[in-house]
Amino acid sequence: MIRRPLIAILLAFTCNANAANCVADTPAMTSQWVHAHDRDLDPPKKNVRRALSDELFSLLKKEHECVVREQGVCALDADLWTETQDGQIVGPIVFEESARDDASAVVKMKYKFSLEDNGQDAKNWSSTIRLTRKTHTSCWTVDDIVGPDGTSLKALLRQNK
């Protein structure tokens, strides 16, 4: 009789401990958290590392090492989220989950983008964030960012030598 409540308590503690390691509960919230806490990911900040897939982290680390070694641009020469060198996001950013299963999710990052400082030319744009779930923690992690023109961040990073 005592075993059942004890097992339930241990399971609840384990689930809460795993959840405590996650930066957020949902794919959309994880995407938003990464964007807010380390927008350029060069190199990824220590606290953001846990919100990135192992593969994306490894590729970003190689990019940073290349930039230091070459003292300049390597694979990336534009904003990771918008694929632009000029302009800015104006107004609020909305993160919406558009697909999800047990192991992966897709989040649309919707925003207005402007080349002008006053934002008068702002147009609706969106980027796609692909996430995977870490099996040992069940945490959602950003695995790729696909810009408005369809270019994958991971594909760009794989060009590094």
Q: Give me the domains of the chain, ranges plus CATH numbers.
A: 3-157 (3.10.450)
- Per-residue pLDDT, averaged over 134-158, amounts to 95
Of the two residues 79 and 11, the one the predictor is more confident about is 79
Q: Which residue has the tokens 């990019």?
A: 63
Residue (of 144, 15, 20) closest to 80 by Cα position: 144
Q: Which residue has the tokens 């147009």?
A: 123
The greatest distance separating any two alpha carbons of the chain, rounded to the nearest whole angstrom, comes to 69
In angstroms, the Cα distances linking 94 to 23, 26, 71, 125, 155 are: 18, 14, 35, 11, 25
Contact 104, 132 (CB under 8 A): yes
User: Strands across the sheet with 104-114, in order?
Assistant: 88-100, 104-114, 123-133, 140-146
- Per-residue pLDDT, averaged over 122-132, amounts to 97
Question: d(Cα 69, Cα 56) in Å, to the nearest integer?
Answer: 20
pTM of the model: 0.84
Q: What is the pLDDT of residues 21-68, one digit of tens each?
A: 899 999 999 999 999 999 889 878 888 999 999 999 999 999 999 999
Of the two residues 118 and 55, the one the predictor is more confident about is 55
Determine the pLDDT at residue 44: 80
* 146 pLDDT above the threshold of 80: yes
